[in-house]
């Protein structure tokens, strides 16, 4: 159940108040680009879930890299959360998504808290007291904000950062056994940031330009790391940190080969939704996770005038 006082409409309104309303663009992660390729799962993943895209045969994917801001004109060199959203096209014609970001945890446990956070982070004179007030009400946000500095630094490339799918999911195997997992995308060549002044010299769209140059040299690859949540770890709290002493398996390899030019043109609308799961994967009761789909529906309708497409 979605346990929130705030409505999806109010949440999207708060984001627009923070970044402005930009016709035709997402409320958050407004600036981005699309790539396409394939994902091939490992036998270790197939042993943990019966999900169709985790059985080993390569499946087509569309990936959207983005900057977290709701302003599509924000330059790439500004410190920001970066996003990596992946859509898997399954053999039966259905789809499932993973939505990930460079900051490894969410600032709040509830949608109401998130709206408070968005309002507290709005630049202006009032920020001097709004942010401390927010942190007093939501102490769970402080560790994540302290650790977010590195994740907000300008990356050398969209392809040189880790991306964390901050929610836990329940994986069910062929025999009916279940366990909770979290995902993260790990770049093949390792992580690399660049100094802010160098990023600025590269230009406002350097991340978009760089990924094109990188694709010209060969595929962009990420490994999907799957962390099995340990007994007693919270599975419905996106503010909780990742633990490094639990079981982690390589879930598969993502290979991106070219730009996706056939989507989001001529009125086409593409939606990445972490609650769009398939048989073998189930949602937890995480309030933030459960709230995302209705909030996305509001944002989609406002930017496109249509209801939820695939």
Of 29, 53, 138, 167, which one is the catalytic site residue?
Answer: 29
pLDDT digits (tens, 9 = 90+) for 263-277: 877 778 899 999 999
| Residue 53 designated active-site | no
Residue the block writes with tokens 């962390």: 227
pLDDT digits over 253-265, tens only? 999 999 998 787 7
pLDDT given at position 242: 66
78-99: string of b/e by CB count within 10 Å (b at 16+)? eebbbbbbbbbbeeeeebbbbb
pLDDT, tens digit (0-9, with 9 covering 90-100), for 175-211: 999 999 999 999 999 999 999 999 999 999 999 999 9
Q: What is the pLDDT of residue 218?
A: 97
**For the chain, how big is the Rg over CA atoms in Å?**
19
Task: Give dist(CA 213, CA 205) in Å, integer.
Answer: 13
Higher pLDDT, 96 or 151: 96
Name the residue with tokens 């994967």: 281
Tokens of 108: 């709040």
Give the distance, in angstroms, between the CA of residue 306 and the centroid of all CA atoms in the same chain.
23
Predicted confidence at residue 125, as pLDDT, reads: 63
The pLDDT assigned to 30 comes to: 95
Is residue 220 scored above 90 in pLDDT? yes
Residue 114 has pLDDT above 50, yes or no: yes
Alpha carbon distance 99, 188 (integer Å): 19
Ordered structural domains, the chain, with CATH? 32-106+153-286 (2.40.180.10)
Q: Please report which confidence band the pLDDT of residue 308 belongs to, taking 50, 70 and 90 as the band edges.
A: low
The pLDDT > 90 percentage for the chain reads: 75
Mean pLDDT of the chain: 92
What average pLDDT does this structure show over 127-139? 84
């Amino acid at each position: 159940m979605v346990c929130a006082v705030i409505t999806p409409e109010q949440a999207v309104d708060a984001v627009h108040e923070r970044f402005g309303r930009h016709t035709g663009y997402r409320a958050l992660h407004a600036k981005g680009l699309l790539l396409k390729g394939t994902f091939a799962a490992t036998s270790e993943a197939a042993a943990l879930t019966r999900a169709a895209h985790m059985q080993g045969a390569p499946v087509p994917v569309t990936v959207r890299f983005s900057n977290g801001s709701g302003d599509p004109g924000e330059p790439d060199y500004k410190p920001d959360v970066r996003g990596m959203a992946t859509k898997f096209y399954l053999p039966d014609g259905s789809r499932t998504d993973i939505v990930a970001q460079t900051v490894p945890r969410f600032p709040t446990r509830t949608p109401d808290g998130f709206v408070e956070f968005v309002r507290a982070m709005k630049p202006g004179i009032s920020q001097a007291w709004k942010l401390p007030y927010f942190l007093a009400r939501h102490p769970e946000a402080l560790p994540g904000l302290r650790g977010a500095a590195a994740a907000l630094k300008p990356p050398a490339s969209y392809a040189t950062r880790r991306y964390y799918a901050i929610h836990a999911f329940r994986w069910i195997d062929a025999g009916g056994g279940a366990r909770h997992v979290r995902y993260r995308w790990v770049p093949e060549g390792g992580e690399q940031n660049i100094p802010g002044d160098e990023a600025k010299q590269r230009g406002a769209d350097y991340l978009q330009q760089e990924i094109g140059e990188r694709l010209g040299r060969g595929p962009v690859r990420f490994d999907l790391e799957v962390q099995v949540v340990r007994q007693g770890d919270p599975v419905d709290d996106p503010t909780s940190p990742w633990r490094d002493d639990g079981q982690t398996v390589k879930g598969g390899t993502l290979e991106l080969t070219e730009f996706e030019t056939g989507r989001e043109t001529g009125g086409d609308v593409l939606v990445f939704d972490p609650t769009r799961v398939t048989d073998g994967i189930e949602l937890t009761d995480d309030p933030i996770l459960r709230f995302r789909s209705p909030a996305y529906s509001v944002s989609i309708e406002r930017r496109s005038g249509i209801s939820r497409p695939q």
